[in-house]
Amino acid sequence: MKKLWHIYDRMRDIVCILNADTQEIVYMNPHGLRMLGFRSLEELGKDFRSETLQNLDGLITACGQEETPDGGPDEKLWKNMVDGLVYAVRSGFFEVGGERFRIQTASECREEELHEYQSSFGRFLRKYYFDTEMFFHSVSAREMPVYVFFGDVQEDVYYVSDKLREELGLSSNLVHQLFRQAEPFVYEKDRENYKRGLLSVMEERREFYSQRLRFQGMDKRIRWMCCWGIIKWDGDRPLFFSGCMTDLEDEFSADSVTGLLRYPAAVRRLTALSEEKEQATVFGIGLSRFSVINDSLGRMEADRLLRQICAQLRERLYGFELYRMDGVRFLAVCPGQVPDVRISGIIRQCIQECYRKKGIEMKNPCALGMLRCPEDGRSGMELIERVMTCIYYAKRNPEQGVLRFSWDMLEKRQKETEMSLELCRNVRDQFKGFRVVIQPIVEGETGRIKGGEILSRWECRGTAVSPECFIMLMEENKQILAFGKWVFEQAVLACRSFMKERPDFTVSFNVSYLQITDSSFLPFMKETLSRYGVSGKNLILELTETHFDEAPEHLERLVKECRTMGMKLALDDFGKGYSNLQMLLRYPVDLVKLDREIMREIAQSRTSRELVKSIVLACHRADKKVCVEGVETETELGIVKRMKADYVQGYYFYRPLNTQELLTKISGA
């Protein structure tokens, strides 16, 4: 099919052909590639720099993506940022071999407004008094935070403002090879970007130049500068280069660890893009579990890791502007629209590689959010707040890659904020609105109650809230530390009640990963057992994959101390995650609890039944008991019995009961 397009190779118009369904560019003629600043169609597919992408997007979207009502071609005006000319863009549709394509041709035309502006400026210079030197000094005064330059590119001779001459220690305002003389003043770590940026402008015949770099002037202070300029071309020859450098130090302080600009700079940049209705893609990056890394590596080494991550991101995300927000949250901003899946993959890979070099293996090293400007926010502050909301929700489900902003997030976040405040009030008010229930665990063969798992319940203003929701919120606001101690105390009190009827009765309890890292939790457990006269042998600590992945060193200490107190260890949600087998081998668990989702699978699949049966057999050979969760029907119970599982937990036998209800069941038995 590609041979069909070659009839357009010699056309002097820009010709672009797209797949009408996928919007993928399948062909652009050589003249079109040159006019847009590309060397090949392959380079066009890989390029995601702001100005080239925005220029190309302007061509593609100049006409609508659907046929006009009468089926004929549509026509719009489009200005090419590369050559500065205005083109008439025509769009039409055709079909080849069952596939539908859209063809866009752009023909050079005259734009009256542009020429009127040019002629008006020229007329002013010819007709009215104009003092060139005074005008230049008025826009480059020492009081202004700008350093101005302009020059003849072919002769490589530039004139610089007094402020720039003093900053670079030059002897004259007339400078040969300005950019080579300025290079030593560019901060060492930014020099490669500086050279690459200038080179790409010339190689790709760009009309605009823009970089943010650190400079170290004659006073030896390192300052962030915004470098901007425009280049006039005569075909392939650059003629004139004029621009300025803006000192950002007075407005924005750079982060001392990473060297990135901070929140105020991001607000101003995004506000400017939003007000000018310029398209931009904003990525929010939140590093995962960095507090644990900080604790294990130490502050200095963790800071070094942050610098390495930021250096990698700067190198790999060329054309992006990076900012550090608070803690370990960052922004990556690129004018125009970029492929979010591809960029998020680059970001994730950069961070993962840096972690790996430090000996840190992490499946999901970061949470990524993404939004578009200006459609997702009217100001810089709104855009930042919303991309931070994306990070917040992305952390809850890191497997999904990058999370795109949606408007329902704002309402959901508002409700959760109100709920979080209510949780804090209830915890401070002696756990008002909270209660615990216990779901019995029965012997697989006899149905006799062997023990139970303690579960928490909470009502917010009279409405029951799921534990998955309020536990997650309590972990985020750290209320889980106090709440976890309260739940443990309720488990010990329940044990004391049941031991009178059943001395071997056991109560299982769960802990949050935050409790594992809480230095006060173990002493509290010991003191509580002693205060109520309960043996640790009547308690079972349930752990999940999350604990193993979050804080393995703290977990080992907790397991060891709980063993010393006589507690048993259970591996919960087995089969739900990817690390459970590692935990099974690493920690001497007494009980393996198969996740309720496994119950759904084995009820429908013979293959799944055989697989789970082999897991049960392997556990028994390793002298570990097995409990199957989520058994709700007689059919499911029959399957579990044939697998010879030791214990069963589910609604088929008992719903969660309060302490008195369960005590009655035990007494009756």
Q: Whole-structure pTM over 0.85, yes or no?
A: no
State the pLDDT at residue 235.
84
10-residue mean pLDDT series, the chain (669 residues) = 71 84 86 83 64 66 51 61 76 81 79 50 72 83 81 94 90 93 89 87 85 81 82 90 79 72 86 86 91 78 91 87 91 88 91 89 88 89 92 84 90 88 91 95 92 94 89 88 96 93 93 88 96 95 70 81 94 65 68 85 81 87 90 89 92 94 84
State the pLDDT at residue 578.
46
Per domain, the residue ranges of the chain are: 2-111, 132-247, 263-406, 420-668
> Which amino acid appears at position 440 of this protein?
P
State the pLDDT at residue 629.
92
Contacts of 40 (CB under 8 A, 6+ apart): 33
**Three-class HEC string of 545-588:** HHHHHHCHHHHHHHHHHHHHCCCEEEEEEECCCCCHHHHHHHCC
Burial class (CB in 10 A: 0-12, 13-18, 19+), 452: buried
353 phi and psi angles, rounded to 5 deg: -65, -40
DSSP for 362-399, please give it.
Answer: -S--EEEEEEEETTT-SSHHHHHHHHHHHHHHHTT-GG
State the pLDDT at residue 113.
42
**What is the Cα–Cα distance from 606 to 47, expressed in whole angstroms?**
50
Burial class (CB in 10 A: 0-12, 13-18, 19+), 62: buried
DSSP state of 477: T
* Bridge partners (DSSP) listed for residue 78: 87
In whole angstroms, what separates CA 431 from the centre of its chain? 35
Q: Which fold has domain 420-668?
A: TIM Barrel (3.20.20)
CA angle 500, 504, 505 (to 5 degrees): 75
> 74, 63 in Cβ contact below 8 A?
yes
Question: What architecture is the 263-406 domain classified under in CATH?
Answer: 2-Layer Sandwich (3.30)
Domain 2-111 and domain 132-247 have a common topology: yes
Which of 654, 653, 662 lies closest to 497 in space, CA to CA?
662
**What is the Cα–Cα distance from 216 to 222, expressed in whole angstroms?**
5
Q: Phi-psi region for residue 600, left (φ > 0), alpha (ψ -120 to 50) or beta?
A: alpha
* CATH number for the domain running over 2-111: 3.30.450.20
**What is the Cα–Cα distance from 149 to 175, expressed in whole angstroms?**
10
* CATH number for the domain running over 132-247: 3.30.450.20
**What is the Cα–Cα distance from 669 to 657, expressed in whole angstroms?**
15
